Amino acid sequence: MSPNSSAVPDALPDFRNLGVVARILVGVNLGAFVAAALKATTFQQLLGEFLDIALVVQPALIASLALLSAASPWLARLPYFIGLAAVATLVLVLASGAAFLRASVDPAPLGVVRAGAFGLLTTALLAGYFHLRSRAFSPALAEARLQALQARIRPHFLFNTLNAVLSLIRRDARRAESAIEDLAELYRMVMADAKNLTTLARELDLTRQYLNLEQLRLGERLVVDWQTAEAPRDALVPPLLLQPLVENAVYHGIEPGAAPGTIVIAIRRERDRVHVKLTNPYHPEHQHRQGNRIALANIRERLALHFDVEGVLESGVNGARYEIRMTMPYRRAAAQSVPGERAAA
């Protein structure tokens, strides 16, 4: 891997991301508190100063976040410094306007010029923070890529699949050829860069290819219930999101049982969220828990890297079945780099 292979380009944060919004709210209010503390000499005066500043800052902050959220897809397409200048201009106008309106009602300590300067200063500080955070996450993205390159498809799966293909060559050459093509496509996806999102349609196709290969050796023991009619196939998701979970479902839920077992894959969209639910039979006496935890930790980490706090994975036993639930934001357009810092627009 070259030194720059995991470099993350400069990008504005995704202002629709809850993690980004929370950090901006905390940062701006912390800045307002510091500004009040610099003027106050007593605790009571500190509260008064902070309230005066908040009466100007909060309306401008809320309006800025609402407009930036709406404009986030457009801002993501701009060069970094042009986008940053657009954000700074918006903040300057809103902060100055809020101070002007406040002054027309009651002359406030935070004047128009000071309000504009405060807006620009906090914008610069937050831009620097998000820039540094993006750089700090670069090694984590590279690590996630390496984890995806390692054994997300277990070696035993490769050997089992090759043996199944060999058994087919003489009696069903066409099916054996198709199986080899599916296997090659799976490993091509393993080598893909984990920094780039892929479509849910692509993940579903890949998972079907994997299950077709497993069907060669498991036959009627493997039953799959696809509940994906409402799945947003254009949604962007981390690559190899479903296949490792489905492989775990086969390994932990189907292989230990003698009777046929059903894997349920249910995906739907609710407003701006994508919900994924995967269940399989649970055999407590045949659980390889370490491998399961590694796979779940890998997926959970990659959800966090791409979607920040909006990417959630939960798992647990529900009766005789093991359940995995994931939620993530619904994004359709291109490119992200760091969770919340440049999610797909």
Predicted confidence (pLDDT) per residue in 14-46, tens digit? 898 888 999 999 999 999 899 888 888 888 888
pLDDT of residue 217: 80
> Is pLDDT of 242 > 80?
yes
> Is pLDDT of 109 > 70?
no
> Is pLDDT of 213 > 60?
yes
What's the mean pLDDT when you consider all of the chain?
81
**Among 316, 146, 156, CA closest to 250:** 156
pLDDT of residue 340: 42
pLDDT of residue 231: 94
Q: Helices 155-169 and 200-218, interaxial angle, to 10°?
A: 60
> What's the CA angle centered on 137, arms 120 and 66, to 5 degrees?
40
Between these two residues, 222 and 218, which has the higher pLDDT value? 222
Q: Which domains does the chain have, with CATH numbers?
A: 18-144 (no CATH), 150-329 (3.30.565.10)
Q: What is the share, in percent, of the chain residues with pLDDT greater than 70?
A: 80
> Is pLDDT of 146 > 50?
no
Q: Give the mean model confidence (pLDDT) for residues 129-141.
A: 74
> What's the CA angle centered on 133, arms 276 and 31, to 5 degrees?
110
> Is pLDDT of 63 > 80?
yes
